[in-house]
Amino acid sequence: MLIRNLLILVLVLLYFVGGAQSILVEETELYRDDVLPRIDIFLPADSLDWLYDSDNLQSNIPLHATFVFDNGAVNDTIENIGFRLRGNTSRNADKKSFKVDLNAFVKGQTYYGVEKINLNGQHNDPTISRAKLCSYLGEEMELVYMRTNHVELYINGAYHGLYTNVEHIDERFVEKRFEYPSGNLYKCLYPADLNYKSDNPDAYKQIINGRRAYDLKTNTEEDNYEDLAEFIDILNNSSSQDLPCSLEKVFNVDRYLKYIVFDILTGNWDGPIYNKNNFYLYFDLSTERFEYIPYDLDNTLGIDWLNKDWGTRNMYAWSHSDEDRPLYSKILEVPEYRARFSYYMEEALIDVYESSEFEIIIDEIIAQIESSVDDDQFYTLDYGFDVQDFLDAFSESLPYFQTDYGVLDFISKRREECFDQLDSDYNASPIISNLNYNIPVNGEMLYVQGTIVDDGFINQVEICFTTPGGQENCFQMWDDGNHEDANANDGIFGSDGMLIDIKGKYSFYLQVEDNNGKEQRYPRCEDKVIHVNESNFDLRINEFMAKNDASFFDEADEADDWIELYNNSSNVIYLEGLYLSDNSDKPFKYRLSDIVIVPGLYKVFWADNDPEQGINHMPFKLSGSDGFVGLYRKNAEGAAVVIDQITYGAQETDISFARIPNGTGPFELSKPTPGYFNEALSLISDNQQQTELSVFPNPSNGEIQLEVERTNQNVSVIVYNSLGQKVNTMDIRGGVRHNMTLEATGLYYITFKVEGKLLTTQKLVVSK
């Protein structure tokens, strides 16, 4: 018998920088399923004739049309939308499927936040409801799912039948579910088996049947498949022993194990496990891992075209018997993953996959749509379905090739078989996910949050920290109501936390042991590392440009908006856990990565709404008129703390807005100097009065010379390595060359100060 113990490690009820965005999405008027909306499409009669012409069935050309949506609560009309056929086999069906492309002719046009609407005829499914029922199961299992409801479709005033309105998967879809919506989104179609081809990313751009099997839907101009190639390489070429450490860095294995359960319980043979088809992979930039998303779920819950019995098939041998499916087979070869899959399967069978639960939903569906099916003349055309078939198909098989099971029959048989097939002694290790944490400044508390499930009981939970001095301290978590753990014996564990009293590098991990002696560590193969700043660190928004036409180009040779940060203090500053935003109401738009800025150094970030280009590219652009730039951190309660901010007016092309004097003064128009000392427009003409400082050769073998010209003052030189650690100091006099030796290879930052005031910082590369 399954005994579940859900432990949520909460030190206080916080928001943390390590947390992932919720994958559950609220319903909108467009996807309400308590009413039956009507969608009208109006287009010229000759356009409709063209659409149905046999010569045009494979065309994706959108035709100009008008879209009207009415669900009783809202009645909206949108002009100038695109309307076309969609799907694969459904294009040849008598009951077609359609795509409404809201932004085909009006850039950026959306309706309730979506750009495209899929109207699926479900001509193979006599219930017209299997996709809807799969969405219900995905929601109950807290997976990424497509919002789905039924709608009545009218074209030019004529009723064209009952359809499912299935959410389109694109950048709008992912932005509602993941922190950064600008990662690579791949639509994976037959034969997308995820087998290794080559270490050349372009090998996965192979054209099959006129399109790519791994079809990149976002960031198409870059067309960079490196992330997919790395994932497939690790999946196929790692040993069973090495796979957990390597794969979990690039793929959300834990969530995918739940998706294996989902695909088996829904009989989704048309996905990657059997038919190497019909799924998406999204590279989530906030975690740098791929996420799996199934789609096109009408041929499920007992629909079969391959003459297989999906109701009884062994769940541990569910993939294709003659072809390798590494996403399934390689993962289940790992004993720990097989045990975890077994746990998730048993959990689903008990909690959500029960015929009686589906009967309630099905009764509601029948009451809502039966009359609409009865009036649907297109429903009968492909197979001769009638309204009695519609009613019977929920509970029993029908005398058609593909309808071996009724929906409830399939659920009952699949549930029975899964219980019989389930490993009786799987004994899963504690499952730890969603490790979240705040990044404090010196003098604040460090809090950690995680979620643990287990098939037994938890004996002990510890969080172990290592301080900058190398000392490890472990703290036990409690569920007694006295350690920031909410109520006693409620499954929420906490501790008094750890006071941060030294700036620098900290690392930590979570260690859990259950009553069966199974242990789990998270992160699995390495500690989580954070860097703590001084409480009064002086980091400034020093310069930005909101109308860059030709003054400064990124590594892709694009002239985009940019923001420059400047370390105005005498200490190194760590950027991890800080945020930049163009909206004061949304301060956490872009989380900065683990970058160090030494005193006097600058860091430029691109405001180009293109984070896929790299860690310094942000998911927003700046306004060229009235706008805002804010720099924030989160305090221990999850609230935004302003570090620096500027509200500005209309900007000029190729002229920046910068602090004058550099780092301290008010903002004014400036010659653009990204990464360098700011200059007012009035001072551009002559720089001869400035002190000249030299470090050479650069790059160097470690033997360097330092020289200061045009000053008789003594200059202090401080050398930092790439981690911000001070490695050397020297006082030098102007006009004299001084020698310095740096032993280790790598990147260095050399700062020059006069009487404690920073002159400049220069980079140096040592290579031997």
What CATH number does the domain containing 755 carry?
Answer: 2.60.40.1930
Give the model confidence (pLDDT) of 391-447 as tens digits: 999 999 999 999 999 999 999 999 999 999 999 999 999 988 877 788 899 999 888
Residues 738 and 640 in one domain: no
Q: Is residue 24 part of a domain?
A: no
% the chain with pLDDT above 90: 66
pLDDT at residue 9 greater than cutoff 50: no
What's 646's domain CATH number? 2.60.40
Q: Is residue 376 part of a domain?
A: yes
Q: Is residue 226 part of a domain?
A: yes
pLDDT at residue 71 greater than cutoff 50: yes
User: Which contiguous run of DSSP H or E holds residue 232?
Assistant: helix 226-237
Structure tokens at 267: 């009989």
pLDDT at residue 222 greater than cutoff 60: yes
Structure tokens at 712: 């008789």
The structural domain count of the chain equals 4
Give the model confidence (pLDDT) of 695-715 as tens digits: 888 888 888 888 876 556 678
For the chain, give the mean pLDDT.
89
- In our burial notation (b when 16+ CB lie closer than 10 A, e otherwise), range 692-714 reads ebebeeeebeeebebbbeeeeee
Structure tokens at 71: 């669900």
Residues 752 and 703 in one domain: yes
pLDDT at residue 689 greater than cutoff 60: no
Domain boundary among 683, 714, 739: 683
| DSSP state letter for 28 | -
User: Which contiguous run of DSSP H or E holds residue 426?
Assistant: none
Cα–Cα distance measured from residue 69 to residue 151, given in angstroms and rounded to the nearest whole number: 10
Q: Is residue 2 part of a domain?
A: no
Residues 622 and 640 in one domain: yes
Residue 417, classed as helix, strand or coil, is helix
Residues 651 and 572 in one domain: yes
In this prediction, residues 14-34 reach a mean pLDDT of 67
- For residue 484, the Cα-to-chain-centroid distance in whole angstroms is 30
Cα–Cα distance measured from residue 522 to residue 18, given in angstroms and rounded to the nearest whole number: 13
* Distance (Å) of CA 580 to CA 590, 605, 628: 5, 9, 10
**pLDDT (0 to 100) of residue 623:** 95
Q: Which candidate, 399, 393, 413, places its Cα nearest to that of 133?
A: 393
Q: Is residue 624 part of a domain?
A: yes
Tokens 């009064």 belong to residue:
536
Domain boundary among 655, 683, 711: 683
* Distance (Å) of CA 420 to CA 281, 342, 443: 32, 12, 56
pLDDT at residue 480 greater than cutoff 80: no
Residues 465 and 591 in one domain: no
Residues 589 and 624 in one domain: yes
Cα–Cα distance measured from residue 392 to residue 406, given in angstroms and rounded to the nearest whole number: 7
pLDDT tier, 681 (very low <50, low <70, confident <90, very high otherwise): low
Domain boundary among 648, 683, 718: 683
Q: Is residue 659 part of a domain?
A: yes
In this prediction, residues 528-555 reach a mean pLDDT of 92
Residues 701 and 665 in one domain: no
**pLDDT (0 to 100) of residue 613:** 81
Q: Which of 113-122, 165-174, 588-597 has the lowest mean pLDDT?
A: 588-597
pLDDT at residue 754 greater than cutoff 60: yes
Residues 480 and 571 in one domain: no
**pLDDT (0 to 100) of residue 750:** 83
Structure tokens at 300: 């499920």
Q: Which of 8-17, 330-339, 377-386 has the lowest mean pLDDT?
A: 8-17
CA angle 316, 318, 324 (to 5 degrees): 105
Cα–Cα distance measured from residue 304 to residue 404, given in angstroms and rounded to the nearest whole number: 7
Which residues span the domain enclosing 505? 7-13+438-527
Residues 291 and 161 in one domain: yes
Q: Which of 456-460, 500-504, 613-617 has the lowest mean pLDDT?
A: 613-617
Q: Which of 34-43, 134-143, 369-378, 515-524 has the lowest mean pLDDT?
A: 515-524
* Contact by Cβ (8 Å): 363, 276: no
Q: Tell which wins on pLDDT, 7 or 455.
A: 455
User: Which contiguous run of DSSP H or E holds residue 45?
Assistant: helix 45-52
Q: Is residue 219 part of a domain?
A: yes
* Contact by Cβ (8 Å): 50, 164: no
Residues 655 and 714 in one domain: no
Residues 503 and 624 in one domain: no
| DSSP state letter for 422 | S
User: DSSP characters for 586-602?
Assistant: STTSEE--S-EE-TT-E
Residues 468 and 496 in one domain: yes
